[in-house]
Amino acid sequence: MAESREGVSEELQMVEHKLGEHQRRLGALMAGGKKLWDHWASEAFPWSNKVLKLEDGVFGISVPWRCHQKEIINATMACADTFVIMRTDGGKSLCSQLPASMPGKGVGIVISPLLSLISDQVYSLETIAPGGSAMLAGSATSEESGQVFRRMEDPRRSLRLVYVTLEKIIKSKLFVSTLEALNDAQ
């Protein structure tokens, strides 16, 4: 009986020690995440003034930024790999369209399940940056898809934003290999 108490006591101490290690690690990760958000929230980037002018002048938005929009836009403008999931009406369109309407070398990929929403987004961006966006859906012909892939890989690209359905990503090995080639070219 005494042995089992000692064993349980030792195991409990070991678990408490590991828990303490995990809590310290979590604290360090949380602090690092805060520093990262603070970095991207800065308005000291070379593009910051232009972003503010576009936000108000082109997009007609003069209200404060929504949750993390500024940070997402700055990370995108810095060509950092940026993956964003936001709620409906959270401000995703501005996060992708504003950087796409500015000079730069990257191509943004927006995954959307709704063709009607994709069409609206492409139309909207075309009024701001003609030729700057394209749409890839599962229903696209191989010729239409190939044209978009060539535009994505063109080093003189004017294409800045590609809206794509999940179906197209799943079904198109060429799309995935084009993304890999773009990533490798960085």
> What is the chain's Cα-based Rg?
23
pTM exceeding 0.85: no
E-only strand ranges, the chain = 108-111, 133-136, 161-164
pLDDT surpassing 80 at residue 99: yes
| Sheet hosting strand 133-136, strand order edge to edge | 108-111, 161-164, 133-136
pLDDT in tens, 18-57: 888 888 887 777 777 778 878 888 888 998 888 887 776 6
Q: How confident is the model at residue 64 (pLDDT cuts 50, 70, 90)?
A: confident
**CATH code of residue 99:** 3.40.50.300
Same domain, 19 and 103: no
Tell me the pLDDT tens digit for each residue of 139-171.
888 888 888 888 888 877 778 889 999 888 888
Band (1; pLDDT cuts 50, 70, 90):
low
Domain containing 5 equals 1-40
Q: From 87, 155, 159, select the one nearest 122 (Cα to Cα).
A: 159
26 and 117 inside one domain: no
Q: Do residue 85 and residue 155 come from a single domain?
A: yes
State yes or no: pLDDT of 62 exceeds 70. Answer: no
Q: Are residues 84 and 156 in the same domain?
A: yes
Q: pLDDT tier at 94 (50, 70, 90 boundaries)?
A: confident
**What angle do helix axes 92-100 and 48-57 make, rounded to 10 degrees?**
120
Same domain, 3 and 56: no
Residues 33 and 117 occupy one common structural domain: no
Same domain, 22 and 111: no
Q: What is the pLDDT of residue 2?
A: 60
Q: What's the domain count of the chain?
A: 2
Mean residue pLDDT across the chain: 83
Is residue 13 domain-shared with residue 54, that is, in the same domain?
A: no
More confident position, 128 or 110: 110
- pLDDT in the model for residue 113: 83
What are the DSSP calls for 145-163, one per residue?
Answer: HHHHHHHHH-TT----EEE
